[in-house]
Amino acid sequence: MNYSYYPGCTLRNKAKDLDRWARECAEVLGFHLDELNDWQCCGGVYPLGSDEIASKLPSVRALNDAKEHGQDLVAVCSACYHVLKRVNNDMANVPDIQTRANNYMALDEPYKGETKVLHYLEVLRDRVGFDELKKKVVKPLSGRKIGAYYGCLLLRPSGILAFDDPEDPTILEDFIRALGAEPVIYPYRNECCGGYVSLKEPELAGSLCDRIADSAKGFEAECLVTACPLCKYNLSKSGKLPVVYFTELLAEALGIKEDDK
Please report, as ranges, the residues that interact with another protein according to CB under 8 A: 165-169, 185, 187-188, 191, 215, 218-219
Q: How far is the CB of 151 from another protein (least distance, A)?
A: 15
Q: Are 258 and 147 in contact (CB under 8 A)?
A: no
Instruction: Give the nearer residue to another protein in terms of CB position, either 191 or 210.
Output: 191
Q: How far is the CB of 214 from another protein (least distance, A)?
A: 9
In Å, how far are 19, 21, 87, 123 from 31, measured between CA atoms? Answer: 15, 13, 26, 9
Q: How far is the CB of 107 from another protein (least distance, A)?
A: 35
Q: How far is the CB of 198 from another protein (least distance, A)?
A: 21
Q: How far is the CB of 154 from another protein (least distance, A)?
A: 15
Instruction: Give the nearer residue to another protein in terms of CB position, either 169 or 195.
Output: 169
Instruction: Give the nearer residue to another protein in terms of CB position, either 40 or 215.
Output: 215
Instruction: Give the nearer residue to another protein in terms of CB position, either 100 or 211.
Output: 211
- For 195, phi then psi, to 5°, come to 55, -135
Instruction: Give the nearer residue to another protein in terms of CB position, either 187 or 255.
Output: 187
Q: Are 117 and 60 in contact (CB under 8 A)?
A: no
Q: How far is the CB of 164 from another protein (least distance, A)?
A: 10
Q: How far is the CB of 8 from another protein (least distance, A)?
A: 29
DSSP letters for the chain: -EEEEE--GGGGTTTHHHHHHHHHHHHHHT-EEEEPTT-----SS----TT--GGGHHHHHHHHHHHHHT--EEE-SHHHHHHHHHHHHHHHH-HHHHHHHHHHH--SS---S-SPEEEHHHIIIIII-HHHHHHH-SS--TT-EEEE--TTTTTSSHHHH-SS-SSS--HHHHHHHHTT-EEEP-GGGGS---TTHHHH-HHHHHHHHHHHHHHHHHTT-SEEEES-HHHHHHHHHHTSS-EEEHHHHHHHHTTSS----
Instruction: Give the nearer residue to another protein in terms of CB position, either 105 or 162.
Output: 162
Instruction: Give the nearer residue to another protein in terms of CB position, either 104 or 219.
Output: 219
